[in-house]
Amino acid sequence: MEYTSQSALHFPAAYAPISEDEMIYLDGGDAISPQQFTFNLVTNLIRLMGQAAFSGALNGLSNMRNDGLTTGGAIAHYWNRQNTMGKVATVVFTGFAGYAVYIYCVSLVNNVLNLYTSAKNSITGADQTTTDTTAAASSDPTTAATAALTAA
């Protein structure tokens, strides 16, 4: 490949320059259905809100513990100072936080299982066959969680 610039080009280690002619062979993103897009959007939004609620709750408990309250006292203090809408929002965001923790745990377990399977296959020299479980585990955690729920 010929470069038109006279200065020395510094590319990252994983950079692979290709000519314009070769770019026609590269595919972009795959088409996604509106239903799948909406499902991914809602699932990721719930996961993000859950992560924010979980970290906010931990920070709040940590601050209250630093102020001298026990964990039970901090939770009682927070709950008793809420009005009805605040309590409803707390329960909803606790559900979001629980979902975020669930997705994190499913992702962690799937990653450990994939590492174990890869190590076992490399030691035994077994063929690398993909099953529905490993395919779901290797994709994003939301898909893995959905596959786990539908399999149960």
Structural domain includes residue 148: no
Structural domain includes residue 20: no
Structural domain includes residue 27: no
pLDDT of residue 6: 47
Per the structure, how many domains does the chain have? 1
Structural domain includes residue 102: yes
pLDDT of residue 150: 54
* pTM listed for this prediction: 0.47
Structural domain includes residue 128: no
pLDDT of residue 91: 87
Structural domain includes residue 12: no
Question: For the chain, which ranges sit under pLDDT 50?
Answer: 6-7, 128, 130, 136
Structural domain includes residue 38: yes
pLDDT of residue 115: 93
Is 61 buried (19+), middle (13-18) or exposed (0-12) by CB count in 10 A? middle
Pairwise CA distance, residues 144 & 152, whole Å: 12
> Which tens digit of pLDDT belongs to each residue from 122-145?
888 765 454 555 554 555 555 555
Domain extent, residue 64, equals: 34-123+136-142
Pairwise CA distance, residues 62 & 79, whole Å: 16
Structural domain includes residue 8: no
Pairwise CA distance, residues 150 & 145, whole Å: 9
Q: Residue with structure tokens 């745990």?
A: 105
pLDDT of residue 139: 53
